[in-house]
Amino acid sequence: MNNNPPVVWRNHRELHKYLGNRGKIVAWTKVFVAPEGFEHEAPYVVAIVEFEDKSRMSIQVVDCDSVDLQENQEVEVVVRRIGKATADGLIQYGLKVRPAS
């Protein structure tokens, strides 16, 4: 994860383009051993989501219990914090999906 402030700022500027996009879960799994930087989130759910334009993305699923997830379930893109604040107060945000309402 790159904590360089200009890079983080540029990435944050692009997040609005994805907000509200909807897709369907193709497959999902629960991660119990997280990679470095994400240990505080384990266990968490990651899914392959196919969007209306047929593009696919591997993305974290939030705001649900994994026992309620199903293939072909509709999800929507949201912006959430993806890391802990750094010593200089930098907080990174990124895309995740949640079950569509």
- pLDDT band per the 50, 70, 90 thresholds, residue 8: low
Mean pLDDT of 68-75: 94
Residues 35, 39: Cα–Cα separation, whole Å: 6
CATH number of residue 39's parent domain: 2.40.50
Domain range for 56 is 5-99
Q: Residue 2's pLDDT is what?
A: 56
pLDDT at 4 over 70: no
Question: Percentages helix, strand, coil for the chain, rounded to the nearest 5?
Answer: 20, 40, 45
User: Could you read off the pLDDT of 22-39 as tens digits, one per residue?
Assistant: 999 999 999 999 988 788
Domain count, the chain: 1
